[in-house]
A and B are shown apart, each in its own frame.
Chain A
Amino acid sequence: MLDLLEQILKQAVERVSSQVLTYAPGLLAALFILAVTLLIARLVRWVLVKIIKGFAADRFLRRSGISSMIDQTGRLQTSQVVAKTAYWIVLVAGMLVALNSFNSSLSTRLTETVVFLFPKLLAAAAIIVVAAWIGRYFGRTTLVWAVNESLPWPRKLAVCVRAIFTFAGVVAAADHLDFARSVFLAAFIMVVGGMVLAGSLALGLSGREAIRRYLEEKKGTPRETIDDRPLWTHL
Chain B
Amino acid sequence: MNEDLVSQEANEALKRIGSADIVVGIPSYNNGRTIGHVIAAAQAGLEKYFPQFRAVIVNSDGGSSDGTREAVLGAGVNKEQLLLLTTPLFPVHRLSFPYHGIPGKGSAFRLIFQMARQLGARACAVVDSDLRSITPEWIDLLVRPVLHAEFDFVGPYYHRHKYDGTITNSIVYPLTRALYGLRLRQPIGGDFGISRRLLWRYLSRNDWETDTARFGIDIWMSTIALAEGYRVCQSFLGAKLHDAKDPGLHLSDMLHQVVGSVFRLMQEYEPAWASSSGSQEVDLFGFRFGVGLDPIEVNTDRMIAAFRKGCEELGEIWSAALSRETFDSIRRIGSRNPASEEFHMDDDLWSQVVLDFALAYKRQPVERGHLLRSLTPLYLARVASFVYQTRLLGSNEVENRIENLCLSFEQKKPDLIRRWRSEPNTHRSAKAESVADAKLSLEV
Residue A192 CB within 8 A of the other chain: no
Residue A165 CB within 8 A of the other chain: no
Q: Is the CB of A150 within 8 A of B309?
A: yes
Residue B373 CB within 8 A of the other chain: yes
Q: Report if A59-B424 is in contact (Cβ < 8 Å); known contacts: A147-B314, A227-B299, A231-B251.
A: yes
Q: Is the CB of B376 within 8 A of A148?
A: yes
| Identity of the chain B residue whose Cβ is nearest the Cβ of A233 in the assembled complex | B164
| Identity of the chain A residue whose Cβ is nearest the Cβ of B258 in the assembled complex | A235
Note all chain A residues with C-beta closer than 8 A to B254.
234-235
Q: Is the CB of A148 within 8 A of B247?
A: no
Q: Is the CB of B215 within 8 A of A140?
A: no
Q: Is the CB of A235 within 8 A of B366?
A: no
Complexed CA–CA distance, A63 and B250 (Å): 26
Complexed CA–CA distance, A143 and B302 (Å): 19
Residue B17 CB within 8 A of the other chain: no
Interface 1/0s, chain A 193-235, versus B by CB < 8 A?
Answer: 0000000000000000000000000000000001101111111
Interface size on A, residues (CB 8 A): 28
Complexed CA–CA distance, A146 and B376 (Å): 12
Q: Is the CB of A65 within 8 A of B313?
A: no
Note all chain A residues with C-beta closer than 8 A to B250.
148-149, 230
Shortest beta-carbon distance from A60 to chain B in Å: 10
Selected interface stretch from B2-10, B165-173, B229-237, B399-407: B165-173
Q: Is the CB of A235 within 8 A of B168?
A: yes
Q: Is the CB of B314 within 8 A of A144?
A: yes
Q: Is the CB of A232 within 8 A of B370?
A: no
Q: Is the CB of B168 within 8 A of A147?
A: no
Complexed CA–CA distance, A172 and B218 (Å): 46
Shortest beta-carbon distance from B239 to chain A in Å: 13
Residue A141 CB within 8 A of the other chain: yes
- Tell which of A68, A137, A232 has the most Cβ of chain B within 10 Å: A232
Q: Is the CB of A234 within 8 A of B251?
A: yes
Q: Is the CB of B306 within 8 A of A148?
A: yes
Residue B278 CB within 8 A of the other chain: no
Note all chain A residues with C-beta closer than 8 A to B161.
233
Note all chain B residues with C-beta closer than 8 A to A232.
244-245, 247
Complexed CA–CA distance, A208 and B401 (Å): 46
Q: Report if A68-B251 is in contact (Cβ < 8 Å); known contacts: A145-B373, A235-B188.
A: no
Note all chain B residues with C-beta closer than 8 A to A143.
313-314
Select A150's contact among B296, B306, B364, B374, beta carbons within 8 Å: B306
Q: A148-B306, A227-B302 are in contact. List 15 more A-B contacts (CB 8 A).
A: A141-B370, A147-B309, A147-B313, A148-B252, A148-B376, A148-B377, A149-B250, A154-B313, A229-B299, A234-B166, A234-B254, A235-B190, A235-B215, A235-B245, A235-B258
